[in-house]
C-alpha cells in the first residue's frame, strides 16, 4: 500500500517530468509501437549502445527478423551476422534462445507478466521492467545509469552509486516515484531526461522540468552527484593471431566455443603473449596448441587496438605458412575450423578486432 505522502511525492515528481517528456521526447523507431518484441530487442541493443548508434542496427535486425517467430526460426549464424558490430554477442545468442522459448512455451506470443518476461534467457530486472511497463503498462520502475544519475541528483544521494546498498536505495525511490497510470512513459521519461538534459557532465539544469525541487541543483552539487568510486585499472593483453593459408590461397578460420566469450563467432587462431615471450614465439606456440601444427610467421599484416568492457587488447596478425608434411589442423581449442576464400570472409560473423584484420586482408594479395 502506497502512503498518501508517497503518492504526493510521486505526483510532484511525475507531473512536470511527463509534461516535459510529451513535449520533448525523441523520435525512435521502437517508441510508441506497443510491440513487446520490438521493445525487447531495442532495450537489449541500448544496454551498452547510444540511441544514434543502435538505430541502424535495430532497423536492419527488424528487417531481417520482423517477429519473434522469425527470430526463433532463424539460424544462429544469421542472427550473429545481423548483430555484428554491436558487441556483447552473448546478448544476440540469448535473444535467439529466448525467442525460441517464446515460440515453444508461449505459442509465439510474447509473455505479458513480469515474472514470465524475467524468466526468459538473458533478461534481467531492468529489461523485464522496461518491457513490462512500456509494452503492457505494468507498474515496474527501471533502473539504469540515466535513472541513477537523475534520481541521485534529485534526492541528493551522495553515497557511492557503485555500492549495492546505494543502488537498492535508488531502486526503492524509483518504485516510490513511479507514475502508476503511465509507468512506461515514466520510465522512458526519466531515461530521456538523463540522456539529454541531466547528463554526466555539464547538465542543462535551466531546461530541466525538475530543477525547482532537485537537491543537487539547489545545493550546487550537480558536479559531485552521483558519486562513483574509482574503477579498478583495466588490464591489457597482447594478442597474436595467425592467418594460415594453403596452396590454393584459402585461409583458416576457427569458430569460438559456445560457452566462451564471443561464443559462436569466427576468428583467426591465436592467443595471449605470455611473459617473456616474443610475439612470433607466442604465435608459434599458440597455433601448435590450438591446431596441432607448426607454422612459420611470414609477414606481419596489422596491429589492432581494441577495448572491451573489462580489459583492453593489442592484437597483431601475421600471415603464416604451415610446415610441410604435417597432418591437417585440428580444432583443439575451437568448435570447428574452416578453409575459406578471402572473398567469403564477409559471410562470417567476426569480433570487431578480427574484422579489422579481415578488412586489411581484403586489401592485399596473399
Task: List the one residue out of 98, 83, 97, 96 whose CA is nearest residue 48.
Answer: 83
Q: Is 350 annotated as a binding residue?
A: no
Of the candidates 43, 84, 192, 286, the residue annotated as catalytic is 43
Q: Is 267 annotated as a binding residue?
A: yes
Q: Is 354 annotated as a binding residue?
A: yes
Non-local (6+) Cβ contacts of 99 within 8 A are: 68, 69, 71, 72
Q: How far apart are CA 200 and CA 146, in angstroms?
A: 9
Exposure string of 143-180, with b = 16+ CB inside 10 Å and e = fewer, is bbebbbbbbbbbbebbeebeeeebeebbbebbbbbbbe
Q: Is 256 annotated as a binding residue?
A: yes
Q: Is 16 annotated as a binding residue?
A: no
Q: How far apart are CA 301 and CA 357, in angstroms?
A: 8
Q: Is 66 annotated as a binding residue?
A: no
Neighbouring CB atoms inside 10 A of 302's CB total 18
Q: Is 9 annotated as a binding residue?
A: no
Non-local (6+) Cβ contacts of 306 within 8 A are: 312, 313, 315, 352, 353, 356
Distance of CA 241 to the CA centre of its chain: 25
* Residue 356: all three cell numbers together: 579489422
- Which long-range CB contacts under 8 A does 134-137 form with residues at least 24 apart? 134/39, 134/184, 134/187, 134/188, 135/34, 135/35, 135/36, 135/39, 135/40, 135/110, 135/184, 136/36, 136/112, 137/182, 137/183, 137/184
Q: How far apart are CA 9 and CA 280, in angstroms?
A: 64
286 is catalytic: no
* Residue 47: all three cell numbers together: 544496454
Residues labelled as active-site residues: 43
Residue numbers belonging to the annotated binding site for Mg(2+): 270, 290
Residue numbers belonging to the annotated binding site for 8-oxo-dGTP: 256, 267-270, 354
Amino acid at each position: 500500500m502506497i502512503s498518501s505522502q508517497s503518492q504526493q511525492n510521486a505526483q510532484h515528481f511525475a507531473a512536470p517530468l511527463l509534461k516535459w517528456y510529451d513535449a520533448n521526447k525523441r523520435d525512435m523507431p521502437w517508441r510508441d509501437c506497443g510491440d513487446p518484441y520490438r521493445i525487447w530487442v531495442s532495450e537489449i541493443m541500448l544496454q551498452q549502445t547510444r540511441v544514434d548508434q543502435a538505430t541502424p542496427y535495430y532497423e536492419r535486425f527488424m528487417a531481417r527478423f520482423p517477429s519473434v517467430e522469425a527470430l526463433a526460426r532463424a539460424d544462429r549464424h544469421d542472427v550473429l551476422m545481423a548483430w555484428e558490430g554491436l558487441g556483447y554477442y552473448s546478448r544476440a545468442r540469448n535473444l535467439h534462445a529466448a525467442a525460441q522459448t517464446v515460440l515453444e512455451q508461449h505459442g509465439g506470443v510474447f509473455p505479458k507478466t513480469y515474472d514470465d518476461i524475467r524468466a526468459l534467457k538473458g533478461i534481467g530486472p531492468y529489461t523485464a521492467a522496461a518491457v513490462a511497463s512500456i509494452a503492457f503498462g505494468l507498474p515496474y520502475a527501471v533502473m539504469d545509469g540515466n535513472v541513477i544519475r537523475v534520481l541521485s541528483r534529485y534526492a541528493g544521494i551522495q553515497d557511492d552509486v557503485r555500492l549495492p546498498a546505494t543502488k537498492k536505495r535508488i531502486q526503492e525511490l524509483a518504485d516510490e516515484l513511479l507514475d502508476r497510470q503511465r509507468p512506461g512513459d515514466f520510465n522512458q521519461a526519466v531515461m530521456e531526461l538523463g540522456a539529454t538534459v541531466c547528463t554526466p557532465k555539464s547538465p542543462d539544469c535551466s531546461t530541466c522540468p525538475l530543477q525547482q525541487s532537485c537537491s543537487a541543483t539547489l545545493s550546487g552539487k550537480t558536479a559531485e552527484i552521483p558519486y562513483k568510486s574509482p574503477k579498478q585499472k583495466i588490464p591489457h593483453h597482447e594478442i597474436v593471431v595467425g592467418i594460415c593459408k594453403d596452396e590454393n590461397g584459402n585461409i583458416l578460420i576457427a569458430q569460438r566455443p559456445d560457452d566462451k566469450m564471443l561464443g559462436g563467432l569466427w576468428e583467426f587462431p591465436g592467443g595471449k603473449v605470455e611473459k617473456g615471450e616474443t610475439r612470433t614465439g607466442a604465435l608459434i606456440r599458440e597455433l601448435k596448441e590450438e591446431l596441432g601444427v607448426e607454422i612459420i610467421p611470414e609477414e606481419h599484416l596489422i596491429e589492432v587496438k581494441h577495448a572491451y568492457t573489462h580489459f583492453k587488447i593489442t592484437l597483431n596478425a601475421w600471415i603464416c605458412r604451415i610446415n610441410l608434411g604435417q597432418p591437417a589442423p585440428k580444432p583443439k581449442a575451437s568448435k570447428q575450423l574452416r578453409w575459406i576464400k578471402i572473398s567469403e570472409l564477409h559471410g562470417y560473423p567476426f569480433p570487431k578486432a578480427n574484422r579489422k584484420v579481415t578488412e586489411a586482408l581484403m586489401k592485399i594479395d596473399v
